[in-house]
Structure 1
């Protein structure tokens, strides 16, 4: 399943209302007459969501559609806003239409399209999750969770996984086969735009204040081989990690 992750910095003006407002047009393609407020269970007409968010002065939202969800929240300790669109789109083209409706919103930092199942297991640390899903994990590297006794547990060490994500102050260190990265973030990370444009295996498009990167022809689903190499290169170029 194709999923979407978008990050906005604290320069975002209008918060929840402006983000939802930017999504209205592309979301109309899903022909939803009514949606559900995932926080309260209240059913709302799709056409009334904007008024609902404004009248309730919502700083976050969790809107459930028939086939998926759109969730927006503030990650206070990392100083950014996060938008997650899950189980809703089934193609890169549809994901792109949603993301490109957001790239001109003030405070846009980054976005990526990723495969939900691959992302899940690349970031799974708890051994009980592997046991519950009957997935072999003996070969995976392990480490302590770092908590004091009696909370100490052995967990999977994901620090070398090409598909791992890490929350950083102001952004998320994560890669996707298709990414939109603000030039503001490139400056913060000290990325040389010309060198980025010159990476042969990436298709780069300059969208003004944002750079679109196509690093592979489909969402990453493998942690070995050519896909792993592309992920490692993306992480090195963008995050020096």
Structure 2
């Protein structure tokens, strides 16, 4: 059992917030949770379901669950933060979402690693007391007086990029809807040839495992992460 974060991405026409809630609510062990959409604290899971219309954000027992729409990329995203559960049990709970025809992609990840792999702001490094002298830097591309030097994350193995209709991200365990994976022209055949990648095929989705632990800083998996990204996102 471990603590991890998860991210699931759905097509823009997926508006089934109650369906998402019905699936993920079993992750919540307490009957009273905080839900911020309605500015109410410590209300029952049943009452939450009754009030959900399109999106929701809840917290409780150290975790948070957020289902929201990203207008720039035109996708719906489910964030599950700091959940503590066996991965096989977690996957079994989420299986109805993986099987949904609107499901695009999903992953598990370490939040701290994810933050620093995508952190551009030098001020954040300084306020956190984290050394950045060895990192690549570039201009933010803004005109004077807004121009500033930022951290260049474009070569980081754990970077994520929002595209129209999906997110270019990686994780040690990932799930992809078959239709979406085909649209990326991902090299599944090559993945199956590599000893460090395991693929499991289901009716509507494919599971890809690259590492038995979450990716973290300086864990020696950087080349694996880059190789995985290059095979997944060819389009």
- Tell me the CA shift for residue 224 of structure 1: 6.5
Q: Which of 147, 157, 166 pairs up with 1:162?
A: 157
Partner in structure 2 of residue 16 of structure 1: 17
Structure 1 residue 50 corresponds to structure 2 residue 66: no
Q: Partners of 2:124 and 2:118 in 1: how far apart?
A: 11
Q: Write out per-residue CA displacement over residues 133-192 of structure 1, whole angstroms, 9 at most, x where no aligned residue.
A: 100101100001111111111100000000000001111100000000111121111124
- Tell me the CA shift for residue 106 of structure 1: 3.0
Q: Which of 68, 77, 84 pairs up with 2:72?
A: 77
Alignment of 1:177-192 (within 5 A): 177-192=172-187
Q: Partners of 1:208 and 1:167 in 2: how far apart?
A: 27
TM-score by length of 1: 0.89
Q: Write out per-residue CA displacement over residues 58-103 of structure 1, whole angstroms, 9 at most, x where no aligned residue.
A: 3221111222111011111211101101122255345434433420
Q: Partners of 2:152 and 2:169 in 1: how far apart?
A: 17
Alignment of 1:26-175 (within 5 A): 26-27=26-27, 30-43=28-41, 44-53=43-52, 58-89=53-84, 91-175=86-170
| Structure 2: runs of 5+ lacking an equivalent | none
Report the CA distance shift for 1:142/1:16 in structure 2 as closer, same or farther (over 3 A): same
| Worse overlay, 3-12 or 172-181 | 3-12
Q: Partners of 1:217 and 1:184 in 2: how far apart?
A: 26
SS in 1 for 2:216: coil
SS in 1 for 2:226: helix
Report the CA distance shift for 1:90/1:148 in structure 2 as closer, same or farther (over 3 A): farther
- Tell me the CA shift for residue 33 of structure 1: 1.1
Structure 1 residue 238 corresponds to structure 2 residue 227: no
Q: Write out per-residue CA displacement over residues 28-57 of structure 1, whole angstroms, 9 at most, x where no aligned residue.
A: xx421111112343032012221111xxxx
| Worse overlay, 99-108 or 109-118 | 99-108
Report the CA distance shift for 1:228/1:136 in structure 2 as closer, same or farther (over 3 A): same
| Worse overlay, 44-53 or 227-236 | 44-53
Write out the 4+ residue segments of structure 1 that deviate beyond 6 Å after TM superposition: none
Q: Partners of 2:129 and 2:192 in 1: how far apart?
A: 43
Report the CA distance shift for 1:162/1:170 in structure 2 as closer, same or farther (over 3 A): same
Structure 1 residue 220 corresponds to structure 2 residue 215: yes
CA RMSD in angstroms comes to: 1.8
Equivalenced residues, count: 232
TM-score by length of 2: 0.91
Partner in structure 2 of residue 176 of structure 1: 171
